[in-house]
Amino acid sequence: MSARPSWITRHFSPWFSDPWRVRLLRVLIGVTLLAVVWAAERYGFVGQVAPEPPPVAWQPEADSPPPPTDLAATDDERAEAEAPTLAEASSLTEAPSGAESAPRAESRGDRDSAGSAAPTASRRSKPTPQAAPRPPPPTADPLVIDGLSLRDSSGRTIYRGQIDLAPTLERIAAGRRLRFPNDGTTFQNRENRLPRRPPGYYREWVVPTPKEPGPGPQRVITGDAGEVWYTSDHYRSFRRIPTEIRIR
């Protein structure tokens, strides 16, 4: 009577009898070994020894007594050991310290860092734009009179605006006269609206009014001393002009 084959023989004998199954088994074993080797190289858990923990410094327990002291040393000995000698005390009081007597020398690293920080600060700092200086306000011309409202003898408004006395004063200084009969004649000052002067001291000149063919209400009164007066309402009121003129 033959022996009954074992469980291993009955289940694994077909694998070893078939050459293709044996080859497949070899391939699987090789792939498994390659995977184990790759995992060992990748994660480094093969052949490494766990590092030892760092030593822990001993610390006394809370309830442990303080270390023993030298009971033989007295208070006087400890005071003498801690107190400086007389020579040391005199040297400390007389000789100035090195930090006070000599300025602290800058290290090379400080100079290099300061030198490198200076261009950086100059690059970062941007010059603030400065506003252009404003030109001074134009001064008012004393020979230009603004806001005039001229009326004729009947009270009708014939002109509104400004009057420039410069052309009239230039004409007077040059000795030129207009075609009007009262231009350059003596002003009597009968109403005494101007300072009293001897007869013949004042002379009147016609100031032409724009778009007015006649002499109009404007006059310039000059004095022998060079003073100039202006009236825009035909001698009713006068204003002093801050200039002087000499008549040829």
With tokens 């004042």, the residue in question is: 202
C-alpha to C-alpha distance for 90 and 138, rounded to whole angstroms: 78
Are the beta carbons of 145 and 154 closer than 8 angstroms?
Answer: no
Q: Which of 61, 80, 88, 234 is catalytic?
A: 234
Whether residue 56 is predicted with pLDDT greater than 90 in this model: the reply is no
Q: Is-catalytic flag, 234? A: yes
In a domain? residue 131: no
Of the residues 52, 80, 170, 204, which is catalytic? 204
Q: How far apart are CA 73 and CA 67, in angstroms?
A: 15
Q: What is the pLDDT of residue 130?
A: 72
Quick check: is 238 in a domain?
yes
> Is 136 within the bounds of a domain?
no
Judge whether 163 and 144 are in contact, CB under 8 Å: yes
Q: Domain of 228: which CATH number?
A: 3.10.450.30
Rounded to whole angstroms, how far apart are CA atoms 228 and 187? 13
Which pLDDT score, from 0 to 100, does residue 99 have?
43
Residue 110 lies in a domain: no
Q: Which of 20-24, 76-80, 171-175 has the highest mean pLDDT?
A: 171-175
Is 200 part of any domain? Answer: yes
pLDDT of residue 65: 57
Active site residue 204: yes
Mean of pLDDT values over 91-103: 48
Asked if residue 96 is part of any domain, the answer here is: no
pLDDT at site 25: 83
Residue 191 domain flag: yes
- Is 215 inside a domain boundary? yes
pTM of the model: 0.46
Residue 164 has pLDDT above 90, yes or no: yes
Counted domains in the chain = 2
Q: Which domain holds residue 35?
A: 7-43
CB-based contact 175:245 (threshold 8 Å)? no
